[in-house]
Amino acid sequence: MKIMRVKEHILTALSGFKRRDKFSYGVFQERGLNPSDDELCQWLQTQLNICTDQLIAAVEADGNEKKLVKILRSSLDNLDSTYFDTEERELICDYYYELSRIVDADIKHDLNSWLHGMILGTVLRISNLLKRQERIIETLEQPCTSCNLPLRTSILGKEASIPDFSWSIIRCNNCNEYNLLSVGPGVKQFRFENHASIEQLSKADYSEEEAKVRLEQIKYFRKK
């Protein structure tokens, strides 16, 4: 039953990714960039959606990580990195990395090589191997209030003396709904996995009810 739930969550996240307008004006605006050509944006949207459809089919067929990696690599190889400017390449890599995280397939080396070129990508890979890898101590999950997908926050470091000092207003990557999150006390370092931080509210200034009011304000003024 647990395996079925995990599979269902993966398929839900992939479907949500496909529905998103991944190259909208708002996406470029959030990154402080000028929008790319409309025709190029539409083509990239189509390429990513084809890849997503292939991943959905593979997950439904219980494909292993090797199969999922092959799909992602093949799709990425269809894109000539020299055709895009640096900002476009970074955005494309962000989307392929997001897909890889959804299906739990490791293509970081492929993304490095595609983004920076094979030689520099190899250097970066070696450099990363020499660094201490981030160890996930704990994973917090809470269901999105709209699509019910578990919103995951990875805890990377703890320190007992750190207070529970803020609320986070976050946005679900799957359906773009805004949610309220608190990681709790004693958390030194954490990483949002399938949601994005929109606003931080100090608990010294906002009670839980006041934070919920601010959440509703954001939902109202930032309608999808």
Return the pLDDT at 184. Answer: 92
The CA angle 139-145-151, to the nearest 5 degrees, is 20
Contact 47, 75 (CB under 8 A): yes
CB neighbours of residue 196 within 10 Å: 12
pTM of the model: 0.68
Architecture, CATH, for domain 2-130: Up-down Bundle (1.20)
Instruction: Please report, for the chain, the start and end positions of each structural domain, with discontinuous segments joined by +.
Output: 2-130, 138-221
Contact 149, 174 (CB under 8 A): yes
Return the pLDDT at 7. Answer: 87
Q: How far is residue 220 from each of residues 20, 125, 177, measured CA to CA in Å?
A: 20, 43, 11
φ and ψ at 160, to 5 degrees? Answer: -60, -30
Return the pLDDT at 223. Answer: 65
| DSSP result, 80-130 | -GGGS-HHHHHHHHHHHHHHHHHHT---HHHHHHHHH-HHHHHHHHHHHHH
> Average pLDDT for consecutive 10-residue bins of the chain (224 residues)?
73 92 87 88 96 96 94 94 89 92 90 73 46 73 92 90 92 92 91 89 92 92 69
Return the pLDDT at 186. Answer: 92
Return the pLDDT at 35. Answer: 87
Return the pLDDT at 127. Answer: 47
Contact 48, 95 (CB under 8 A): yes
Return the pLDDT at 48. Answer: 97
